[in-house]
Each structure stands twice: as structure tokens, then as C-alpha cells.
Amino acid sequence: MKDLDVKILATGDKWVGNGIRAFSETTKELIDRTQDSLSLTIFALSDDQIIEKLRLALERGVSVEIYLNYSSTSISEEYLRKLKELENKYLNLNVFRVENNVLHSKVIISDMKKAIVGSANTTFAGMVTNYELGVEIHIPAIAHKLEMLLRRLRER
């Protein structure tokens, strides 16, 4: 595997730098660069910048699928409302609520070519101040397999 296929991502001031990219910036860049489709899992959400990046992607016509943990209080009513507003406004957004199990994965897949997989939640702490690790993968076959796994969550 080439060195450029997988990059380490991190949060926390002692980990980011010296060739280790930050989760927050990498996630936002991935959303910004998505052209056709974006799939992501959300366990916890409290980052307005991520909501805005998703809104802009929807405005560009990107098809967005969100697999949302809905079995706990990991997402506040305020952010559930924000997601619902986006869902009502954009036909190219589908939110799948995982209600009977805990969806704890943190995955973002862009155009079925690139993916971010890691431990960081879409919260300020998860994206900036906690010590979290993950990888950015530029391998379409792996991104496709991840996408197929997420789609299984739609099955009843």
C-alpha cells in the first residue's frame, strides 16, 4: 500500500502536527470536496461548523446520507431539530435513525472513494480537544465496503 493511501488523523495538541493531520480540518475539507455522495455516522453532534458544511454540500447537490444514533441522549434536542430542518428542506438528504441499538461508529465516506474512520465524535471536544485517533483512507475499494456496511443499517 502506498504511503499516500492512508493518513493518520488525531486531535489534541500533543498529537496534531509533524505529519499528523487534525480531525476537524480534514473532516471539513472532505465534506467541502465531496462532489456526488456523502455518507456519515453520527453518535454525538454539537458542532455548528459541521452542520454548516453539510448544508453547503446539500446546496451543491451532494446526496447526503446520515446514519444517526437515536437510542440515547448523545444528541441534544437542538441538534436533532437542526438535522430535521435540513431533512425537511433538502430532498437530497436522508437521515436513517438507528433506534434499537447503539450506533457508536464514526465514519464519513465521500464519493465512495475516500473515507475517514476514527474515534472522534462530531462535537468540538471530539474534533479538537480530546485525544482521538483515526485514519483518512483514499482507497475506493475500502470506501465502497464501508458504504455497503452502512447501508445494512437500513434493513429491518
- Quote the DSSP letter at residue 118: E
Which domains does the chain possess? 3-154 (3.30.870.10)
- Is residue 53 pLDDT above 50, yes or no? yes
- pLDDT cut 70: percent of the chain above it: 95
- Is residue 156 pLDDT above 70, yes or no? no
Instruction: Choose among 28, 21, 9: nearest CA to 122.
Output: 28
The 10s digit of each residue's pLDDT in 62-119 is 999 999 988 666 788 899 999 999 999 999 999 999 888 888 999 999 999 999 999 9
The reported pTM is 0.92
Backbone angles phi and psi of 70, in degrees to 5: -125, 10
Q: What is the mean pLDDT of the chain?
A: 92
At 73 the pLDDT is: 67
Q: Answer for the pair 120, 11: CB distance below 8 angstroms, yes or no.
A: yes
Q: How confident is the model at residue 1 (pLDDT cuts 50, 70, 90)?
A: very low
